[in-house]
């Protein structure tokens, strides 16, 4: 049984339907990626999992139906979401941002230990822990978003285009850390990306979306060999 199972998921904003019944799975302990161009419905898919948009269809997490639940409740089940736009609390310090990630776990020594742990992954955040979030660079804010999500000790980590607007070196750094986290802490990852080459290098399994539908899916290694995908998304 997959950790996250999505069947016939539909979503709309007002009268505009954005997802037309999509199916996908995220395997426990794996990295799954959803690829697609702007407007394909990738971000909406993540928002639907977190109860941030009105949906119909079935979403199961560890076997339990979560469709229709509030965002706050979904988070309590162990799904952390580093959202589009990074969601930084710009007037709070880096450390306060991180503590908020652990909000549902209460305070205590546990949280302090986890702060040290994420500072270990992202040393630059440790240097900046007294600065307000709004003063960080784009790359640092993306690291903060991933680090804040980790503070939940999630079973499933949702990442919304972590590479957007960042320099290639920074992107590589962030993806390396995501891979480490996945391997060492057994956190399953659902990664939404436009940058197909980086995402396919990282993921075990991939889905390709176009205008609200899943058009292709398969093991990431296979999709890398797919001629259509290579031409459209990888550019060689």
Does 124 interact with other proteins (rule: CB under 8 A)? no
**x/- site string to other proteins, residues 132 to 171, per CB under 8 A?**
x-xxxx----------x---x-------------------
| 58 contacts 66 by C-beta, under 8 angstroms | no
Site string for other proteins, 32-71 (x = CB under 8 A): ------------------x-x-----------------xx
CB closer to other proteins, 72 vs 185: 72
Nearer to other proteins, 83 or 218 (CB): 83
Q: Cβ 3 to other proteins, closest distance in Å?
A: 19
Shortest distance, position 99 Cβ to other proteins, whole Å: 6
Per DSSP, the residues of the chain read: --SEEEEEEEEEETTEEEEEEEEEEE-TT-EEEEEE-TTSSHHHHHHHHTT-S-EEEEEEETTEE-TT--HHHHHHTTEEEE-TTTT--TTSBHHHHHHHHTGGG-SSHHHHHHHHHHHHH-HHHHHTTTSBGGGS-HHHHHHHHHHHHHTT--SEEEEE-TTTT--HHHHHHHHHHHHHHHHHH--EEEEEES-HHHHHHH-SEEEEEETTEEEEEEEHHHHHH-HHHIIIII--
In the list 39, 68, 107, 123, the residue contacting other proteins (rule: CB under 8 A) is 107
| Total site size for other proteins, rule CB under 8 A | 31
> Burial code of 166-185, b = ≥16 C-beta within 10 A, e = fewer?
beeebbebbbebbeebbeee
Q: Give the nearest distance from C-beta 8 to other proteins in angstroms.
A: 25
| Listed ranges 23-31, 35-43, 129-137, 184-192: which one lies at the site for other proteins (CB under 8 A) | 129-137
CB nearer to other proteins: pick between 75 and 229: 75
Q: Is 89 in the site for other proteins (CB under 8 A)?
A: yes
From the CB of 92, what's the least distance to other proteins, in Å? 7
Strand order in the sheet with 64-65: 16-26, 4-13, 55-61, 64-65
Residue 232 CB, nearest approach to other proteins (Å): 32
* Number of residues in the chain: 236
Q: How far is the CB of 117 from other proteins (least distance, A)?
A: 18
- Which residues would be at the binding site for other proteins (CB under 8 A)? 50, 52, 70-72, 75-76, 80-81, 83, 87-92, 96, 99-101, 103-104, 106-107, 132, 134-137, 148, 152
């Amino acid at each position: 049984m997959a950790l996250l199972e999505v069947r016939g998921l539909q979503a709309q904003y007002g009268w505009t339907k954005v997802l037309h019944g999509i199916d996908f799975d995220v395997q426990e302990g794996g990295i799954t990626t959803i690829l697609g161009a702007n407007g394909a419905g990738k971000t909406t898919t993540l928002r639907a999992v977190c109860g941030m948009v009105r949906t119909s269809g079935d979403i199961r997490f560890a076997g339990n139906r979560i469709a229709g639940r509030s965002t706050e409740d979904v988070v309590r089940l162990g799904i952390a979401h580093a959202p589009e736009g990074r969601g930084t609390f710009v007037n709070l310090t880096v450390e306060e941002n991180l503590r908020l990630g652990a909000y549902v776990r209460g305070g205590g020594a546990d949280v302090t230990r986890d702060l040290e742990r994420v500072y270990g992954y992202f040393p630059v955040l440790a240097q900046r822990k007294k600065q307000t979030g709004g003063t960080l660079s784009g790359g640092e804010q993306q690291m903060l978003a991933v680090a804040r999500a980790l503070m939940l000790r999630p079973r499933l980590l949702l990442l919304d285009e972590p590479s957007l607007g960042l320099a290639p070196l920074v992107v590589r750094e962030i993806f390396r850390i995501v891979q480490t986290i996945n391997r060492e802490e057994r956190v399953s990852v659902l990664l939404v990306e436009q940058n197909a080459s980086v995402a396919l290098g990282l993921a075990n399994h991939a889905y390709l979306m176009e205008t609200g539908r899943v058009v292709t899916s398969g093991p990431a290694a296979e999709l890398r060999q797919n001629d259509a995908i290579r031409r459209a998304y990888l550019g060689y």
